[in-house]
Amino acid sequence: MEIDIDHELAAVDRNVAQAGERAQEQVARVGRVTGKASSPDGGIEVEVAPGGLLTGLRLSPGAVSGDMETLARNITSLADRATRRAGSNMYKTLAPVLGERGEKHLESLGYVPVDDDEDAAEVDFSDPLKHRGSRR
């Protein structure tokens, strides 16, 4: 049995192009994919793009009135949580249009679904000494 490599490559090229078009359409429908996290009191709000690029940060006057090291640690913790959520949102946006092989590729890039209940467990921001040396 002989394989027509040009025909096979053209088929792969068509499949890739179609998957790309479906992904673009899905992202256009869903809108900007981000992840958000906030402190329990709402004094710190963080928004990131998939991959962790910070796209938004809001700090209340109360949040900046304390120790800056604690503030930085809290922002970092929230940015980590928001990054997981952004990756999960990217996965949820693209997985339906990319199929099983696309899901595996998304996972290889670190975009995995996050259990919303598990991720909802907030870090205790009340005692900054509890978090010294630990990052979630």
User: Angle, nearest 10°, between helix axes 68-108 and 5-30?
Assistant: 140
Judged by DSSP in three states, 57 sits in strand
pLDDT at site 24? 80
Q: What is the pLDDT of residue 132?
A: 37
Tell which residue, 42, 37, 83, has the closest CA to residue 62.
Answer: 42
Tell how strand 44-48 and strand 35-38 pair up.
Answer: antiparallel
Q: What is the pLDDT along the chain (136 residues), one digit of tens a residue?
A: 788 888 888 888 887 787 778 778 877 887 789 999 999 999 999 999 999 999 999 999 999 998 999 999 999 999 999 999 999 999 998 888 887 888 888 888 888 998 866 665 545 555 443 433 433 3
CATH superfamily of domain region 5-131: Nucleoid-associated protein YbaB-like domain (3.30.1310.10)
46 touches 36 (CB < 8 A): yes
Q: pTM value?
A: 0.71
Q: What span, in angstroms and rounded, lies between the C-alpha atoms of 118 and 108?
A: 21
